[in-house]
Amino acid sequence: MPFYHTLGHIPPKRHTQFGKPNGQGLYYEQLFGTIGFEGMSSLLYHVHRPTMVREVLESVDMAPKLAIQKNMLARKLIGFNIAPADDFLESRVPLLANNDLIFGLAAPRQSLTTYFYKNADADELLFVHRGSGRLRTLFGTIPFQYGDYLIIPRGIIYQIDFDTTDNRLLYVESHSPIYTPKRYRNQFGQLLEHSPFCERDIIRPRDLETHDETGDFLIKIKKQGSLHSLVYASHPFDVVGWDGYNYPYSFSIFNFEPITGRVHQPPPVHQTFQTDSFVVCSFVPRLYDYHPLAIPAPYNHSNIDSDEVIYYVDGDFMSRNDIAQGHITLHPGGIPHGPAPGAMERSIGKKETQEYAVMVDTFRPLMLTEQALKLDDGKYYKSWLD
Ligand SMILES: [Fe+2]
């Protein structure tokens, strides 16, 4: 996040001696950034050296199994049909992918406690559709519940606790960093008055865990599409303090303040996050357009240069027929799409919508995985016929 945060104890001057209590030596400083030495970074202070690899075990290929590389069909995927799985990583079902991102769903039944996880390839966005718990990281803990986006910059070691076994997540692994939209920030990074959210809505880590433990600690690290298993000699959560700008955070879709107008506003007013290769938008309950002749349903539009993915969270989605929670629509670039037959007429005179949805617009075409085809209803592309 482009604002400063600190937890625990840190020395008054960076890169200087920071002694442990009772003369037991020095803490170990680690600079943690993701774009060389130029991006946002944090300085962490470990009880043990964060470099003590004891053993390197097996590597497992995690690359999505692609079934369709050149997609030209609008599609609807029945997302809740994915099978739950006990393990947090094994529960992930990649559905759509390109060189920039992997988009998928997961229904993990169990907390991630038997190993630690780090994605060195990608920033992760987890949207919590069902379930609650705590994201535990070496930067501290972030409680989460329904409606939260969890943003985990690449390289952050974490575990996750779920309160129950009934959990539904949308996840995006992004090969470029995930930021809030630049146009809502001033030159100092502060969120501006026209931003649909402000710093108070950003939930930062708290309750730093400091484990002074040595032994065998398994960290599964995703790198180059493979999951590598490394055994470290010290507990990964052994930080006594940190400060800086690079850390995980959460933002609730319920805190997104919609921007409305007299006539239909374009999708960028819903934008919540940006990257170099895709944007994320939040559709939330809002008043409809108030011009006396307004048509609240969106107009047909040609997204020639981007693929559009919408994940339906809750409420009655006014522009479509036959849409339920967990459904995903994919509108590929190159062909126009628009409201379902009857939706335009149906929307006239309506005052508000209660819909919740998450949209991911990618600047390069998406490919479909084998698992995605199993969720495909096979007929959506004809849904604009009378
Ligand atoms: Fe659209």
Per residue in 29-65, pLDDT tens? 999 998 888 899 999 999 999 999 999 999 999 999 9
Q: Express each pLDDT in 121-130 by its tens digit.
A: 999 999 999 9
327 is in an annotated binding site: no
Cα 266 to middle of ligand 1, angstroms: 9
Give the pLDDT of residue 149.
98
d(CA 139, CA 5): 10
Give the pLDDT of residue 187.
94
Give the pLDDT of residue 156.
98
Q: What are phi and psi of 343, to 5 degrees?
A: -70, -35
Q: Which two tokens stand for residue 365?
A: 């075409």
d(CA 197, CA 184): 9
Cα 63 to middle of ligand 1, angstroms: 28
DSSP one-letter code for 183: G
Q: Is 9 tagged catalytic?
A: no
Give the pLDDT of residue 98.
98
DSSP one-letter code for 345: H
Q: Which residues make Cβ contacts (< 8 Å) with residue 228, sequence separation at least 6?
A: 56, 59, 220, 221, 222
- Residue 196's SS3 state is coil
331 is in an annotated binding site: no
d(CA 323, CA 78): 9
Q: Is the pTM of this model over 0.75?
A: yes
- Residue 381's SS3 state is helix
Whether 319 shows a pLDDT value over 80: the answer reads no
From the list 129, 228, 264, 331, the catalytic residue is 264
Of the chain, the percentage scoring pLDDT greater than 70 comes to 100
Cα 332 to middle of ligand 1, angstroms: 10
Give the pLDDT of residue 78.
98
> Looking at the domain covering 5-64+82-252, what would its CATH class be?
mainly beta
Give the pLDDT of residue 365.
98
Task: Find, among 60, 69, 79, 190, the residue nearest to 129 by Cα.
Answer: 79
Give the pLDDT of residue 69.
98
Give the pLDDT of residue 316.
82
Q: What are phi and psi of 90, to 5 degrees?
A: -65, -20
238 is in an annotated binding site: no
Whether 318 shows a pLDDT value over 80: the answer reads no
Domain residue limits, the chain: 5-64+82-252, 258-382
Of the chain, the percentage scoring pLDDT greater than 90 comes to 94
* First-to-last C-alpha distance (Å) of the chain: 47
Average confidence (pLDDT) over 189-205: 96
Q: Which two tokens stand for residue 136?
A: 């535990």
Give the pLDDT of residue 221.
98
Cα 338 to middle of ligand 1, angstroms: 6
CB atoms within 10 A of CB 227: 16
| Integer angstrom CA distances of residue 226 from 38, 100, 121, 229, 339 | 27, 16, 9, 10, 40
Q: Which two tokens stand for residue 306?
A: 């981007």
- What pLDDT band is residue 376 in, cutting at 50, 70 and 90? very high
Cα 74 to middle of ligand 1, angstroms: 11
Average confidence (pLDDT) over 359-378: 98
- What pLDDT band is residue 357 in, cutting at 50, 70 and 90? very high
**Any idea which fold 258-382 has?**
Jelly Rolls (2.60.120)
Task: Find, among 242, 227, 31, the residue nearest to 115 by Cα.
Answer: 227
Give the pLDDT of residue 213.
98
Whether 303 shows a pLDDT value over 90: the answer reads no
Same CATH topology for 5-64+82-252 and 258-382: the answer is: yes
